[in-house]
């Protein structure tokens, strides 16, 4: 399955519940799609729910550098603030990694300065 199909389709808000029809042409509910998706995942050995897959997709997008303006619409969020979950955690991780790298650089500099002959 393509990412755009398997993950973009995980939100009935993104597609519109009316696109999922019964054999008689009536609109299906968002729950019907979720149940269908759950059965399809079980057949292939995927153990996540549609929500879990969407969360994984949002997290992967944020880690790849996508902002909430990209992630929100891809997941069918009604507002961009709903995508903050993904970008905030990735931003925190980056801030911590950058901070630790700076501390390591500072420690390396202090070590070099303390060596004999470095005045």
What are the pLDDT digits (tens) for 87-116? 888 888 888 889 899 888 888 877 777 777
User: Is 23 within the bounds of a domain?
Assistant: yes
Cite the beta strand spans of the chain per DSSP E: none
Counting the structural domains of the chain, the total is 1
Residue 8: its pLDDT value, please? Answer: 42
Closest CA to 69 of 86, 91, 55, 47: 86
**Inter-residue contact 51 to 37 (CB < 8 Å):** no
Looking at per-residue confidence, does 40 or 17 come out higher? 40
List all residues 6 or more positions away from 104 whose beta carbon is below 8 Å from its beta carbon: none
User: Looking at residue 53, what is its pLDDT?
Assistant: 81
pTM over 0.85: no
Domain assignment present for residue 119? The answer is: no
Nearest to 49 by CA among 87, 7, 101: 7
């Amino acid at each position: 399955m393509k990412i755009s199909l398997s993950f973009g389709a995980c939100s009935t808000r993104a597609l519109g519940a009316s696109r999922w029809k019964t054999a008689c042409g009536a609109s299906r509910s968002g729950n019907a799609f979720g149940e269908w998706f759950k059965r399809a995942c079980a057949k292939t050995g995927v153990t996540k729910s549609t929500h879990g897959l969407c969360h994984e997709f949002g997290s992967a997008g944020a880690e790849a550098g996508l902002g909430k303006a990209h992630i929100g619409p891809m997941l069918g969020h009604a507002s961009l603030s709903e995508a903050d979950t993904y970008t905030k955690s990735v931003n925190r991780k980056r801030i911590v990694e950058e901070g630790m790298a700076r501390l390591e650089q500072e420690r390396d500099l202090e070590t070099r300065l303390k060596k004999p002959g470095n005045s």
